[in-house]
């Protein structure tokens, strides 16, 4: 397991699913973890479970000033910032493009795209000044293939894939390690929402078809180590057997 002793990580969308699993797994690996989410009670409870290694910071990632303040609070609390996991994202609206509610569509972009940019924009100067750091963005196969009813989500994840490439392109010389993780379908609340929608083939999958939330979390931990340097600037696809093997994941 990758050793994160003495490291500090910010995890957005940390109240449940992949974010909560990553918080626990990173803390178990020795990291200090700053838990960011709009769900104040949930991240406070999780921080309490983890203990003194964790701090809960209520934050709406669609607002840059809140993300910037969260980064400053993390640095003040733990003395630095080594890892950023841009995990916060929403799926809805699920609707045909011609029928989609513009306000809901724009709201998703505010969280899924602007939220990732805000995290990178707030963290990169801090990491560059310290000589390096790791930024991990949660991507999706939806970034590369259109899925009925998912115009907002597919568009947002395509944008995240480019932000990952841009971060690596512009930050690698300053010691930044930037990668994306495409986790496949994961057993989280998002999959229940997809199932309920009845739209596109993803909704036809059964619960047992999805990987548990700790798999992408453990892959994120592996991506913090040098063994993942082959994938800098790229998207790590958890569906690939080689990735699962290198991350220590088995069926």
Return the number of other C-beta atoms located less than 10 Å from residue 103's C-beta: 8
Q: Is the peptide bond before 40 cis (omega within 30 degrees of 0)?
A: no
Return the number of other C-beta atoms located less than 10 Å from residue 202's C-beta: 19
Q: Which domains does the chain have, with CATH numbers?
A: 8-246 (3.40.50.720)
Q: Which helix (H) or strand (E) holds 55?
A: strand 54-58
pLDDT, tens digit, 9 for 90 and up, residues 166-184 = 999 999 999 999 999 998 6
Return the number of other C-beta atoms located less than 10 Å from residue 122's C-beta: 23
Query: Which of 87, 69, 71, 81 has the alpha carbon at shortest distance from 6?
Result: 81
Q: Is 16 left (phi over 0), alpha (psi -120 to 50) or beta?
A: beta
Distance CA 88, CA 50 (A): 20
Return the number of other C-beta atoms located less than 10 Å from residue 142's C-beta: 19
Please, are residues 224 and 83 in contact by the beta-carbon 8 Å criterion? yes
| Residues shown for the chain | 251
pLDDT, tens digit, 9 for 90 and up, residues 24-34 = 999 999 999 99
Active site amino acids: 139, 153, 157
Residue 68: which pLDDT band, with cuts at 50, 70 and 90?
very high
pLDDT, tens digit, 9 for 90 and up, residues 118-149 = 999 999 999 999 999 999 999 988 889 888 88
């Amino acid at each position: 397991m990758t050793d994160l002793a003495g490291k500090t990580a910010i995890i957005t969308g940390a109240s449940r699913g992949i974010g909560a699993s990553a918080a626990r797994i990173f803390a178990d690996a020795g990291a200090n973890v700053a838990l960011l989410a709009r769900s104040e009670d949930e991240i406070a409870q999780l921080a309490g479970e983890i203990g003194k290694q964790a701090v809960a910071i209520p934050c709406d990632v669609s607002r840059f000033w809140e993300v910037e303040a969260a980064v400053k609070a993390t640095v003040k609390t733990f003395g630095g910032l080594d890892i950023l996991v841009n995990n916060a994202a929403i799926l809805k609206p699920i609707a045909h493009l011609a029928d989609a509610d513009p306000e809901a569509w724009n709201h998703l972009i505010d969280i899924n795209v602007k939220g990732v940019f805000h995290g990178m924009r707030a963290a990169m100067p801090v990491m560059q000044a310290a000589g390096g750091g790791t930024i991990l963005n949660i991507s999706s196969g939806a970034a590369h293939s259109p899925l009925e009813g998912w115009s907002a989500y597919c568009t947002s994840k395509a944008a995240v894939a480019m932000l990952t490439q841009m971060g690596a392109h512009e930050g690698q010389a300053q010691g930044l390690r930037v990668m994306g993780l495409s986790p496949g379908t994961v057993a989280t609340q998002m999959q229940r929402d997809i199932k309920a929608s009845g739209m596109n083939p993803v909704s036809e999958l059964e619960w047992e078809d999805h990987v548990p939330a700790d798999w992408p979390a453990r892959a994120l931990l592996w991506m913090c180590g040098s063994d993942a340097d082959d994938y800098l600037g790229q998207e790590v696809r958890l569906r690939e057997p080689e990735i699962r093997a290198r991350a220590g994941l088995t069926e």
